[in-house]
Amino acid sequence: MNIRSTRFGALDIADHMILTFPGGILGFPDWTRYVVLEHHTEAPFKWLQCLDEPDLAFVIMDPALFKPDYRLSVPPDALGEIQSSAPEDLGLVVILTIPSEDPSTITANLRGPLVISHRTRLGKQLVLPDDVPTRYPLFSALTPIHAEPNRRQWQPVASL
């Protein structure tokens, strides 16, 4: 399918690359279809672009890359919603919050991770207990950062 995105222009997305969040992402219940866009560099983050709303996109990252001790168990209702029970099918990412006034203070929402089944292509945002931070600082040391505007060099990928 061909879709239009505000950031990345026109994208041609194969059906097997589409991720569906049946319940939406919290706060955006009306939009359920997304695609992961990967950068052709070593930058360890990806985009989650909404296919139903061209302007909606999140920056996502594998939490194991910056918080190796991050552990959670996926509750049965979530496994039912994504129609998967095999741990090897599941991928886990967290959404990053990047303040435009100071991009160096990026935080990761560890309380609302996204669990995605690679087999069924279904995903769900979990809600973890309130002792898990919603704003976990990604960069421990504050170093000067030169922000780059978004570039249209992203490609859809089938896996996370």
Q: Which spans of this chain sit near another protein (rule: CB under 8 A)?
A: 6, 25-28, 41-45, 55-59, 65-66, 75-77, 80-81, 95-98, 100, 103-104, 106, 109, 111-112, 125, 127, 129-130, 134-135, 138-139, 143, 145-150
If you compute the radius of gyration of the chain from its CA atoms, what whole number of angstroms results?
16
Shortest distance, position 51 Cβ to another protein, whole Å: 15
> With contact defined as beta carbons under 8 Å apart, do 64 and 70 qualify?
yes
Distance CA 89, CA 86 (A): 6
Cα angle 76, 114, 135 (rounded to 5 degrees) comes to 120
Nearer to another protein, 16 or 143 (CB): 143
Nearer to another protein, 91 or 112 (CB): 112
Distance CA 49, CA 37 (A): 7
Nearer to another protein, 14 or 157 (CB): 157
